[in-house]
Amino acid sequence: MHPTPRSDWALFLDIDGTLIEHADHPEGITIPEGLPTLLMRLQTTFAGAVALVSGRTIEWMDRRFAPARLAAAGQHGAELRLKADGKAVPLAIPAWRKRLETELDTALTAWPGVYLEHKPLSLAVHYRAVPQFEEEVKATIAVITNRLGSDVELLAGRFVVEIRQIGLTKGTAVKRFLETAPFAGRLPVFLGDDVTDEDGFGAVKAAGGLAVAVGPRPTDQADFRLDGPEEVRFWLASVAAETLGTAEATR
């Protein structure tokens, strides 16, 4: 059962595993034909109240979803663009970043197929291609990060460990959006597939909104569930058509 679309929604969309299918390497993904156009249609439908909320950088979103340009939270809330035509505002680079990067670059060479993604404000260790190394990789990351003090937070996702500044989440990003136009006063709806999206789910539900889980991962917060990215795209297309059609019929 899908949620009944409303014209006063504010949509918050995770990317990997939600809008697009996962790949073994972060740059190995494919942007489905028509997805940028669909995102622009959703922007029109909801008067600009559509945001991408992802571990990806905002620069990556703009480049890969061009010509679509949306409000966005990148790197799990470490950078924000509150309006589609606004500027992305990043936080300062954390003090631990360079040291951690150097140590992980050296340590992770022990496991071919493990990939360290270098983001401006965080790091992500991907092992989707070699899941048999999961426990060893996680243990190594924990040993290294424990030496860096209390400002570092680990977040384990599906075949990835995100290393980020503590206190920044998709939930904190959603709260910022809901304080500003065009999101303020709307009913928030968050779509996500991974543990990193739980904070987003919690933020929209605290504001009276809806959490839509994508894929099979168990969660106690979901109000609705979609099978995967293909169903997400199909459903979002129907939401845009139905909501826009209803709005035009009432004019």
Query: Catalytic positions, please?
Result: 14
Helix or strand or coil: residue 230? helix
Other beta carbons within 10 Å of 199: 23
CA-to-CA separations, 236 to 65, 137, 145, 212, in angstroms, rounded: 16, 37, 39, 12
What is the C-alpha separation between 21 and 245, in angstroms, rounded? 29
50-53 vs 9-13, strand pairing mode? parallel
What is the C-alpha separation between 50 and 232, in angstroms, rounded? 15
Six-digit token pair at 126? 């991907």
| CB 223, CB 2: distance < 8 Å | no
248 Cβ partners below 8 Å, 6+ apart?
none
What is the C-alpha separation between 62 and 44, in angstroms, rounded? 18
Residues facing residue 226 across a β-bridge: 214
| CB 23, CB 43: distance < 8 Å | no
| CB 37, CB 77: distance < 8 Å | no
